[in-house]
């Protein structure tokens, strides 16, 4: 393993365990990885796309269909209303949403086709939180029940939908006619997978980063190497924030771990990889963290760390690139990332805070 990567491999501390990593080199981005020039390749050109109706909004959810269709959901915190958009030949265009349903704060979005799109969110007027379903013709509202606060949603078809919330150790599963609870054994931040019988949930259990697998019958917690010095008593929980499954034997989970170092708790980027048999986990250096993640369409992954976009190729080479940010912007937020299925195009979306107002933004 290259000395310049400066990563801390978490594998029980034994030399044998370190050797077991095999071909996974530079699991966590090194401090000194090369900076890709925006003009050198398409992967580094995180170009800003300004949608027409963006004032006051922040994009909070995004999804791609297997055919390459792109959907997004944005929220205006001044009007408490959600808008839905779809990518077409002329850019992002609004999708009509009934007035009775637009008072929703979107937390997650998932789709398997243009006639199976789901949005999970907080109801901002009255009643329980909900998940919205688009069947290609109309929107339908499903009640999630009292006290359930969704973090996201994953669909593998109209009769296979999982809604997850970080405050609960169970997910709400939709079988086509009703919701059932499925105990996961952790508090999930993200759920991803390749099919309805192969899903992974990433989150934490009492401040310990955790992962669980769904095999079509039950959820089972996975065994992970212990993280030395993990701080489980701090205000912020160490957790996996994103899960990306490239295949059944190539799954990534990213987040942040807080460890005791030099007498204080410090944040370190957390990245884990599943090879079909076991998880390997690695930590970055102090002050690093990982948030959103998406496939790159070529066997690698992109990860957002603030406005820094980190890319790991299929072979393990890391580079980084910055988002294009106009002059006058005081704050930039990347809330969600998604690969446009069937291509190497990766979208990042969120908001630009300018002149005391938030405006939605897309980059790719």
pTM of the model: 0.90
According to DSSP, the residues that pair with 251 across neighbouring strands are 245, 274
- Confidence (pLDDT) at 35: 62
Q: What angle do CA 87, 115, 52 make, to 5 degrees?
A: 20
Residue-wise pLDDT for 202-241, tens only, equals 999 999 999 999 999 999 999 999 999 999 988 889 999 9
CB 310: neighbour CB atoms within 10 A?
23
For residue range 120-176, list pLDDT tens digits in order: 999 998 889 999 999 999 999 999 988 899 999 999 999 999 999 988 999 999 999
Strand partners, 305: 308
pLDDT tens-digit profile of 28-75?
888 767 665 433 334 456 999 877 678 889 999 999 999 999 999 999
Query: What mean pLDDT is reported for the chain?
Result: 88
Is the pLDDT at 8 greater than 80? The verdict is: no
Q: What share of the chain is helix, strand, coil (3-state, %, to 5)?
A: 5, 55, 45
Give Cβ neighbours of residue 96 (< 8 Å, ≥ 6 apart). Answer: none
């Amino acid at each position: 393993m290259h000395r310049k990567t400066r990563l801390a491999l978490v594998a029980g501390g034994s030399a044998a365990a370190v050797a077991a990593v095999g071909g996974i080199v530079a699991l966590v981005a090194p401090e000194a990885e090369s900076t890709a020039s925006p003009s050198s390749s398409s992967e580094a050109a995180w170009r800003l796309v300004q949608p027409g109706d963006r004032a006051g909004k922040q994009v909070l959810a995004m999804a791609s269909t297997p055919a390459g269709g792109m959907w997004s959901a944005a929220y205006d915190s001044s009007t408490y209303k959600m808008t839905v958009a779809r990518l077409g030949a002329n850019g992002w265009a609004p999708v009509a949403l009934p007035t009775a349903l637009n008072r929703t704060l979107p937390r997650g979005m998932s789709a398997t086709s243009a006639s199976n799109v789901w949005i999970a969110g907080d109801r901002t007027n009255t009643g329980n939180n909900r998940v919205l379903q688009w069947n290609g013709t109309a929107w339908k509202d499903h009640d999630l029940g009292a006290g359930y606060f969704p973090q996201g949603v994953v669909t593998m078809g109209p009769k296979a939908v999982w809604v997850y919330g970080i405050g609960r150790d169970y997910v709400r599963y939709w079988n086509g006619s009703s919701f059932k609870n499925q105990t996961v054994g952790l508090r999930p931040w993200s759920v991803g997978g390749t099919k309805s019988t192969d899903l992974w949930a990433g989150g934490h259990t009492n401040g310990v980063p955790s992962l669980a697998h769904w095999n079509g019958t039950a959820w089972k917690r996975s065994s992970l190497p212990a993280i030395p010095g993990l701080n489980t008593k701090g205000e912020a929980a160490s957790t996996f924030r994103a899960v990306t499954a490239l295949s059944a034997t190539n799954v990534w989970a990213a987040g942040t771990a807080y460890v005791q170092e030099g007498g204080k708790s410090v944040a370190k980027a957390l990245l884990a990889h599943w090879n079909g048999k076991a998880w390997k986990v690695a930590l970055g250096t102090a002050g690093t963290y990982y948030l959103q993640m998406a496939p790159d369409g070529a066997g690698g992954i992109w990860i957002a760390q603030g406005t820094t976009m980190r890319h790991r190729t299929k072979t393990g080479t890391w580079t980084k690139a910055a988002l294009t940010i106009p002059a006058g912007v005081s704050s930039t937020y990347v809330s969600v990332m998604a690969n446009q299925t069937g291509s190497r195009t990766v979208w990042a979306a969120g908001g630009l805070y300018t002149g005391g107002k938030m405006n939605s933004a897309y980059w790719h």
